[in-house]
Amino acid sequence: MYVKRLCFALSALLLFSSCTVDTGLEPTHSGLAGTIYFQHEWPEETDQVMVVAATIFPPTSLEEIIMSEPLATFVDSTHYTLWTNPNSYAAVGVVWKEKEQPWDVTNIIGIYFPTDDHFSPGRVTIPDRNTVVDSIDIVADLSLARRRVDSAIEGQLTVNGDWPEGAQSVLMIASKTILPTSLLDITFGAPIECGFDTTSYRLSVQPGTYRLIGALVTEKDKPIGFDSIKGIYKKKPTDFLPGSVIVATDTSRVANINLILDFAAATLP
């Protein structure tokens, strides 16, 4: 009799054990929202545009970013909502994707800047599962959209001194002005793993004249700024100003643009 009761109790347990538990995943009720204002002409090669939020800026892997649904294209402005779970995002930006090309999260055409400091992306924190943080408005400059080109700047990176303790990655940068006024004036390369003595790099850039070629080191828990630039290309080591590089066409490859990452220097080299 006891065995029978035990069996029926076991059956009942099996059947109804999940009655009292949660029903699993639920729709997201939190996120961030705002309006994207597009500037300049839409490139014909436009495939998609998305809002991207990164927990670390600049992101070093796909795991650190989330992407919105594709936004409306060939419009002057559009409202968006990026549904996501509570988290703190170091930067929110707009990424452009060319037709028949893979996503390139460095192809940024707009960043959320809450102040006039266009070197410091605004941190957005979603506090709980029921809050949509609104007014995350972004100006997206379509003239910054980078089509796929074969043109590039190439060279060697040599380290002088010891790597800083919190060093995470090295990003090659290029700017058409000596003193960029915004992060958007800078073309970023893909992250290079730290720890090398010498390594070669290749920075894919659009044709044009670049007046600043540099190497930026990201450090753990430290926002990037001008002092993150640890190496600048100079034609001669004694030159005061950075060397210019002309990338003539879509297929130009400018080689031997070598830099020294100077960790021995206290500030900017």
Partner 1 sequence: MKKTHVALLTVLLFCFSKTVLAQSTGTLQGEVTDNATGEALPGVNVTVSGTVLGAATDADGRFSIERVPTGTHNILITMIGYKRAEVTARIEAEQVAAIKIALEETILETPEVMVTANKRRQSIQDTPNSVGVMTSREIEQKNQVYIDQFLQQASGVNFVGNQVNIRGSSGFSYGAGSRVLFLIDGVPVMPGDSGDIKWDMIPAAQIERVEIIKGAGSALYGSSALGGVINIITKKAVARPVTNLRLSTGAYDEPAHPEWKWSDELRHFNDIDIDHTRKIGQKSEILAAVGRHQSMGYRENTEQLRHNVSFKWNYKPTGTHNLTLSTNWEGGDRQTGLMWRSQRQALQVAPEALGDYVHSNKFGINLFHNWVLRKNLGLQTRVSYFYNYWKNWFHDNISASEAQKPGVEIQGDWQISANNSLIFGAEGSWDKVISDLVGTHDQYVVGAYVQNERALITNVNLTLGMRYDYAWVDIGFIDSEFNPKIGLIWHAHSKFRVRASSGRGFRAPSMSERFADSIYSGLRIIPNPELKSETSWSQEIGINFTPSSLFYIDIAGFMNDYWDLIEPEPNENQVVQFINITRARITGVETTVKMMPFTNLSFDLGYTWMDPQDMDLDVTLAYRPRHLFTGGVTYSLGAFECGADMRYISRFDAVKVYPFDDRVDQKLINLRAVYRIGSSSVTLSVNNVFNHNHTQMERTLMPIRHFVLTLSSRF
What residue ranges bind partner 1 (CB under 8 A)?
3-4, 7, 10-11, 14-15, 17-19, 21-29, 31, 47-48, 55, 60-63, 66, 68-70, 83-85, 87, 97, 100-105, 169, 190-193
Give min distance, CB of 168 to partner 1, in A: 11
Cα-based distances in Å from 80 to 21, 165, 265: 34, 39, 45
Smaller CB separation from partner 1, 169 or 182: 169
For residue 216, give the H/E element and its range: strand 212-219
Quote the radius of gyration of the chain (alpha carbons, Å): 24
Give min distance, CB of 42 to partner 1, in A: 17
Smaller CB separation from partner 1, 180 or 218: 218
Instruction: Give exposure, 99-127, as e/b (b: 16+ Cβ within 10 Å).
Output: eeeebebbbbbbbbbeeeeebbbbebebe
Give the up-direction half-sphere exposure of residue 133: CA atoms within 13 A in the CB hemisphere. Answer: 20
Give min distance, CB of 39 to partner 1, in A: 24
Smaller CB separation from partner 1, 29 or 79: 29
Please give the Cα distance from 241 to 235 (Å, whole number). Answer: 9
Give min distance, CB of 217 to partner 1, in A: 14
Give min distance, CB of 23 to partner 1, in A: 6
According to DSSP, the residues that pair with 110 across neighbouring strands are 94
Token code pair at residue 1: 């009799």
Smaller CB separation from partner 1, 64 or 242: 64
Smaller CB separation from partner 1, 5 or 236: 5
Smaller CB separation from partner 1, 180 or 204: 204
Please give the Cα distance from 36 to 256 (Å, whole number). Answer: 40
DSSP at 136: -
Please give the Cα distance from 97 to 77 (Å, whole number). Answer: 17
Give min distance, CB of 86 to partner 1, in A: 10
Smaller CB separation from partner 1, 47 or 154: 47
Q: Rounded to an integer, what is the distance from CA 261 to the centroid of its chain?
A: 22
Give min distance, CB of 184 to partner 1, in A: 20
Which residues are CB-neighbours of 52 under 8 A, at least 6 positions away?
65, 66, 67, 68, 92, 93, 94, 95, 105, 108
